[in-house]
Amino acid sequence: MASTTCTRFTDEYQLYEELGKGAFSVVRRCLKISTGQEYAAKIINTKKLSARDHQKLEREARICRLLKHPNIVRLHDSISEEGVHYLVFDFCIYFLTVLAELFNLSSLASLLYLSHSHCIQQILESVNHCHLNGIVHRDLKPENLLLASKLKGAAVKLADFGLAIEVQGDQQAWFGFAGTPGYLSPEVLRKEPYGKPVDMWACGVILYILLVGYPPFWDEDQHRLYQQIKAGAYDFPSPEWDTVTPEAKDLINKMLTINPAKRITAAEALKHPWICQRSTVASMMHRQETVECLKKFNARRKLKVRNTESCKCTFMSTCRAVTSRLPPTQRNAWCPLTLQLTTTFSDTLYLVILFYLSFSPYAPLYQEPQTTVIHNPTDGNKSFVQFFTVFFPPSLPLCALARKQEIIKVTELLIEAINNGDFEAYTKICDPGLTSFEPEALGNLVEGTDFHRFYFENSLSKGHKPIHTILLNPHVHLIGEDAACIAYIRLTQYMDVNNMPHTMQSEETRVWHRRDGKWQNIHFHRSGSPTVPTK
């Protein structure tokens, strides 16, 4: 059983490459020195954690110790040291690793017919185990589903219990607004008491995506997206749904039931004919038919990629943007929905390919200071753009997409540091010789970060009320390999001392320079409202 120990992590484990990163943590591959066993270590910087964050960490570790199931990533060790805490998990194959090797295969077999039912069954098994143990995951989405290995028949494993909560039986209560927008349930959006049914709603979204490659609810405007979800406004349009069995549609309908009291449970879903009788009920879908359906879907709904760096639309829009840059002979091999897989890989690999490229539009939401990119949202741990970077060498134009997304992401991190009043994090992202024009400087050119320190130590105090920043339509201009400029409109929402909401707007331009592989802000120009709420 995993337990918190007082030994030094480095005495027992050897750390290797980084696998992912969050706001206060990083995940790295590691080996246990005594056995040579491979694991994934989640390394949390506890110095930056608030008392509430410490409680969340303890809860995550407690939940992970409790859950032992073949379809759930297992916690093997928990080690606490001064300023840092290590959680040692199963080492699972991330999407990028599997797919990078897949595309290096020299010979490719004919298209496979894959069992979507079996993939969903594994997800439901993990969710059912959570619910039987009084755990609600709250953030079910493709990014939190990993492969146990690259072998045929590898299990899908549920990961990341950072937002999970503990409930008693069928308890319904308001546990806060948390999750990922496209997968949020109506009751969460209405801020009503909720419980285990929120996970089943997310399973319905996942199943819908798996079957046709696009989400049941979608709108670039988050408010309209939420209205769709609350109304349960989805359908099964022809022709892409014509080849999907009535039983599969019935299961989706039962999962996407607006009333949580009437929504199907995980245990009930596992007994559904489409799951338990898949050899006779769940038909295998030919992916080429799915491709044709998606082309028609995109044409009908007029969903376009606005520009190369905005590949957040539908699955097929992304495929077209990618494959248009490849020689004709390579296009079928590169387009994820027309991949010709060998039998070396499990059917779950297709699940991951389809999941990852179909719908990863937003990062998780928390009721804490946060930064949301409306035009080009990215995920902090497993970026949509990082996925493409694996396959396209620097000589190809799509690599510019990755660098543009890096600039958007580092700009998000900088503004997050401002919202959090974290001067240390701010100075790590900024060049020591940072220059700036901003309203607070009354038209003077400011050099260095000492001028900004005053605002961090006073106006941006640790006890400030929640601040939410939105970046509208960020535009990135690349200046060679190691320099870039980003321009955007910044909206800042905050509560004043009388608990009245306010919104400020400013127009910003930031110049970034990369030194030793790290982007640093060297200059910015801001007009409009001051950054810091003054009242």
475 and 437 together in one domain: yes
For residues 163, 169, 172 and 175, what is the CA-based torsion angle, rounded to 10 degrees? -20
Mean of pLDDT values over 49-69 = 88
506 and 454 together in one domain: yes
456 and 501 together in one domain: yes
**139 is annotated as an active-site residue:** yes
Find the radius of gyration of the CA atoms of the chain. 23
Q: Is the per-residue pLDDT at 107 higher than 70?
A: no
126 and 75 together in one domain: no
The two structure tokens encoding residue 254: 């039962």
Q: What is the CATH number of the domain that holds 448?
A: 3.10.450.50
208 and 127 together in one domain: yes
- Grouping H, G, I as helix, E, B as strand and the rest as coil, residue 282 is coil
378 and 518 together in one domain: yes
316 domain-assigned? no
423 domain-assigned? yes
Q: Over the stretch 206-237, which tens digit does the pLDDT of each residue have?
A: 899 878 778 899 887 889 999 999 999 999 98
Residue 7's pLDDT band (cuts 50, 70, 90): low
287 and 398 together in one domain: no
100 and 81 together in one domain: no
Q: Over the stretch 361-414, which tens digit does the pLDDT of each residue have?
A: 333 333 333 333 333 333 333 333 333 333 333 333 445 777 888 899 899 889
Q: Quick one: pLDDT at residue 35?
A: 92
412 domain-assigned? yes
Q: Is the per-residue pLDDT at 61 higher than 80?
A: yes
Instruction: Note whether 452 and 460 are within 8 A (CB).
Output: no
What is the full DSSP assignment across 320-344?
Answer: HHHHTTS-HHHHHHHSGGG----TT
72 domain-assigned? yes
Non-local (6+) Cβ contacts of 352 within 8 A are 95, 98, 99, 142, 145, 147, 156
277 and 136 together in one domain: yes
Binding-site residues for ATP sit at: 42
Domain that holds residue 400: 372-528
Burial (CB count within 10 angstroms: exposed 0-12, middle 13-18, buried 19+), residue 3:
exposed
Catalytic residue among 139, 160, 379, 431: 139
Q: Is the per-residue pLDDT at 252 higher than 50?
A: yes
- Residue ending a domain, choose from 265, 283, 303: 303
378 and 280 together in one domain: no
287 domain-assigned? yes
- Residue ending a domain, choose from 267, 285, 303: 303
352 domain-assigned? no
Domain total for the chain? Answer: 3
- Cα 494 to Cα 501: distance, rounded to the nearest angstrom: 6
- Cα 318 to Cα 400: distance, rounded to the nearest angstrom: 15
Q: Return the amino acid letter for 75.
A: L
487 domain-assigned? yes
137 and 70 together in one domain: no
289 and 396 together in one domain: no
Residue 473's pLDDT band (cuts 50, 70, 90): confident
Binding-site residues sit at: 42
Q: What is the CATH number of the domain that holds 36?
A: 3.30.200.20
